[in-house]
Structure 1
Amino acid sequence: MKKIAVVAANGKEGRLITEEAVKRGFDVTAVVRSENRTAAQNVLQKDLFDLTAEDLKGFDAVVDAFGAWTEKTLPQHSTSLEHLCDSLSGTDTRLLIVGGAGSLYVNPEHTACVMDGPDFPDSFKPLASAMGKALGELRGRNDVRWTYISPAADFQADGERTGEYILGGEELTLNERGESVISYADYAVAMVDEIENGEHIQQRISVVRK
């Protein structure tokens, strides 16, 4: 049985990842700041920034579902990830990050990203930039068994769970209908699949609806 912790489990994606993992028989600990609202069997009520190496000891994987949205808190994408990496440094525990799509490349040379495009909404650029910066810093961590999972460009909170998806890499991937879309529910399926069977250590992967 896989033993995992989901950090920021009360969030929309965190709850779905927790639910998916519990359904598959995982032993799941929800790491939450407030009252647990997930299906997890175990709860650790603690702020992410207060977590210690001892708190995260013994897990097969830690899922980072943390999110920050305001101008003041956007830098926490970097600081929170650094804190989790420091806490897991040198261990066998995997760290899987709920990432963003803005940093996916749109050319084979990997010199242009989704967020660089003329159609990318200005309102999302600060968030995409903050998450892209955090990913760049993560790439320098050779002491952690991390995997960064980017969703499709259209990440649908209330989309249906089909249980099917296409696994991509560093570049924006389109399905056969020319779409870059995935639901939160199918993203959760992909995340748990990666914990269960994936071996994308120190790699960024991406997922899109089949």
Structure 2
Amino acid sequence: MNIVLLAATGRAGSTILNELVSRGHHVTAVARDTSKLPQPLPAGVTAVQDDLSDVEKLTKIVSGADAVVSAFGPTSSDPRYTTDVAYTDQLLTTTQRIIEAVRNAKVPRLIVVGGAGSLWFAPGVTVLESGHWPQPYVPIATSHQKTLAALKSSDINWTYFSPPVLIQPGERTGKFRLGGDDLIVDANGKSSVSFEDYAIALVDELEKPAHERARFTIGY
């Protein structure tokens, strides 16, 4: 498949890029700073420098793709990340531009790396509302909720892939569970997955669609 991967150098993007390459997909890796991509570039990978700020340019970049994967997120090292929804809402505005570009270019699919805050913690109670969500991450979770709503109201073929509460670098085990809108926890009540296993599930979804115009999630 020909995949356009947006924000290909972040933690999620770089792991997804590795998984796509390992399965032989052709990837257009889009990044603000392409020097952060693997050097030399793996076979089948084309680097494109872009900051995702212009719909017309984005439309040209994604044209002809079988699918677009957006791993975009606001820079978490910025102090506003933990205090200012106006800052984290760049997730929403950027995704809105991506939706428009996907529509304009008639790309068959968009998969968005999502957030965990909007998952159901209990009937009628989201993770964000549960009292267990860390206060510094309320702004980004709020922006993710808005982004999911924007996807749901769009007319493109979207998929929103929520990680569990904890996602971090780890092992590529291939052993995980998938779900829909409910938070997945293990026997000890822990909600977690490695970036490597998250990438497996995302590329599985690209290859064998099972959650079109829907959200799904993952956990151990």
Relative to the length of structure 2, the TM-score reads: 0.87
Deviation at 1:144, TM superposition (A): 0.8
Matched residue, 1:171: 182
Q: Does 1:112 align with 2:125?
A: yes
Matched residue, 1:98: 113
Asked whether the equivalents of residues 63 and 107 of structure 2 are also in contact (C-alpha less than 8 Å), the reply is no
Matched residue, 2:160: 148
Aligned residue among 209, 213, 216 for 1:202: 213
Q: Does 1:138 align with 2:151?
A: yes
Q: Does 1:58 align with 2:64?
A: yes
Residue by residue, what CA displacement relative to the aligned partner does 1:77-103 show, whole Å, maximum 9, x if unpaired? 110110000111162421000000111
Q: Does 1:122 align with 2:126?
A: no
Residue by residue, what CA displacement relative to the aligned partner does 1:94-125 show, whole Å, maximum 9, x if unpaired? 100000011101234xx320011122211111
Asked whether the equivalents of residues 7 and 30 of structure 1 are also in contact (C-alpha less than 8 Å), the reply is yes
Please give the alpha-carbon distance, in whole angstroms, between the structure 2 residues aligned to 1:55 and 1:18: 17
Deviation at 1:34, TM superposition (A): 1.2
Please give the alpha-carbon distance, in whole angstroms, between the structure 2 residues aligned to 1:88 and 1:194: 18
Q: CA RMSD in A?
A: 1.6
Please give the alpha-carbon distance, in whole angstroms, between the structure 2 residues aligned to 1:168 and 1:64: 20
Deviation at 1:176, TM superposition (A): 4.4
Q: Which runs of 5+ in 2 are unaligned?
A: none
Please give the alpha-carbon distance, in whole angstroms, between the structure 1 residues aligned to 2:183 and 2:102: 29
Aligned residue among 57, 74, 77 for 2:91: 77
Number of corresponding residues: 204
Please give the alpha-carbon distance, in whole angstroms, between the structure 2 residues aligned to 1:75 and 1:152: 21
- Counterpart amino acid of residue 161 in structure 1: R
Residue by residue, what CA displacement relative to the aligned partner does 1:6-38 show, whole Å, maximum 9, x if unpaired? 100011110110110000010011001112414
- Counterpart amino acid of residue 48 in structure 1: L
Asked whether the equivalents of residues 48 and 80 of structure 1 are also in contact (C-alpha less than 8 Å), the reply is yes
- Counterpart amino acid of residue 93 in structure 2: T
- Counterpart amino acid of residue 161 in structure 2: I
Deviation at 1:73, TM superposition (A): 2.7
Aligned residue among 93, 96, 100 for 1:86: 100
Deviation at 1:130, TM superposition (A): 1.1
- Counterpart amino acid of residue 74 in structure 1: T
Please give the alpha-carbon distance, in whole angstroms, between the structure 2 residues aligned to 1:106 and 1:177: 15
Please give the alpha-carbon distance, in whole angstroms, between the structure 2 residues aligned to 1:61 and 1:28: 10
Asked whether the equivalents of residues 81 and 134 of structure 1 are also in contact (C-alpha less than 8 Å), the reply is yes
Asked whether the equivalents of residues 52 and 58 of structure 2 are also in contact (C-alpha less than 8 Å), the reply is no
Q: Percent of counterpart pairs with the same letter? A: 37
- Counterpart amino acid of residue 100 in structure 2: D
Give 3-state SS (helix, strand or coil) of 1:117's partner. coil
